[in-house]
Structure 1
Amino acid sequence: MLMNYSSANEFYLLGFSGSEESHHILFAIFFFYLVTLMGNMVIIVIVCMDQRLQSPMYFFLGHLSVLEILVTTIIIPVMLWGLLLPGMQPISLSACVVQLFLYLAVGTTEFALLGAMAVDRYVAVCNPLRYNIIVNRHTCNIVVLVSWVFGFLFQIWPVYATFQLTYCKSNVVNNFFCDRGQLLKLSCNNTLFTEFILFLMAVFVLFGSLIPTIVSYTYIISTILKIPSASGQRKAFSTCASHFTCVVIGYSSCLFLCVKPKQTQAADYNWVVSLMVSVETPFLNPFIFTLRNDKVRGPS
């Protein structure tokens, strides 16, 4: 669409353009979005209001819910607007920059927070007598603050580098949001070095939080297996089952999407995984943390 130009002032999101089932998709995504908003807002409210939930685990959970609301709000309203309008959806260059930055920054913050929550569960299960001393309110505030600051500062250069490229092949993004992989594909520059650096940074973010998670759960499982009674094992595992389930869903859907060296390939697969990351995972997390948690559900 954009031919013989050195740069693009706006892009067009292909999204679900041309789909005969667009109205069904619109209804489904709108439903998922509403449930995601309500579910995570309920968690935030009860964590703030319920005195039984004034603990580090639920403090982290409240911030995780805020991140889930943000990641869906960054993507889904634009997607819904594109479904309501015929054809491809235009998006300005500045809006594309903001959307991509916020999406990556919030995602990075979420991974950092998931890693911190894994360490929190390790201390709770493996060193319960010192838990309140090690994981105190001051420590929790610092961990959350560092997670947010790191997430937003870490993504400044990747987004800057992405939009310093020259876009002369087309300005049609084969996704429902400003996907970095598709933007790299539209560039007429040699992006091999940029892609390699972005790949290393994605590896650092994912495995920087995944490694402490794996180490923490290795010690947690080892400790649980040493508990003599089955009821004691179940009680110990219940304290980290929700977080573990969230970690499995979150990392399994993001590993290929974010760590694939050649980001400009497999556009259709990226499209599907992006939908899972921005819609499915935030939708499931409130159910994971409430249905498996007696304190959140309340007394029976």
Structure 2
Amino acid sequence: MLNEIEEFKAYTGKPVYKCSGKRDLSFLGRFSFEMMKDFTGLSRVLTIIARGYMFRNGAPDVNFARRALCAWCSIPDKKTAAPKEEWQFRTDFSNLHEEFPELVDKTGKGWFYRHVHKVEKFITKNSENMSKTTLSNAEPLKTGFDAAWRDKVKQYQVSLYSPETKGAWVLRFDDVLADALELGPLADKTFSFSDDEKERIQALLPEGLPYEVAETVIAYCIVNKPDDSDYVILPVSNFDAYFGNTSFSHKWLNLFPDTLLERDKQSFGVCRVMLMSNNHYVTPSNKQNQIR
């Protein structure tokens, strides 16, 4: 969550599908089943991808980043699909294969589409090493993902200036690209706390909240705190994927004491938190390593 460059590689490189036991979900990569079924958390994923391509040659190239997003999201048209009219949203971006061979293949299968179906096939092939919960999560990926993802990709392309209600409360490529422009190039924001800071954090932790989790969340809040607010928005779904389970959202997040992390009770559907100022954490001056 702190090294954005490595996060970008996880969303665009070649995943490794392996499993050492029923509790091992590493074959999901930096995704959770919820992200694949409900598409929660994809706002951060798409923004990381957009930033990685937008600033690849220095100056921001918004159109290049948009094409990269289209390629990553691509899903092949049905064999019975009628040719698209000029005004219709496309979902098959096989034409972008030569420009982004790592994101979409010649048949229009985008990175995310391929990953989801490789996950469900891996689960089926290795069913004896999977839990009942994992097996139950694979079925909707096999039967319902394509139709839902095709609709979502169309939704992403709704114009920022759409006067219709359908464009008012949805995530769009326009929103992702605007966030990418504001956030700038990807960076490695990893840093370490001093021994004294670690002791103070540890002293505030309740039983059941792992120190590594608390340290990661606190560090994330420090390096991502906006200049004009004391609150930081936590990408909860992405933290679930990062830790490889849903313990963060279902258990650990609620264990953070108010003396360490205060949650905004009027956050309108997002998780906004504020580090308590009496802890006196200092924002590190780590270098912002950009993707070249």
TM-score category, normalised to shorter length: under 0.3
**TM-score where L is the length of structure 2:** 0.27
Structure with the largest fraction of helix: 1
**TM-score where L is the length of structure 1:** 0.26
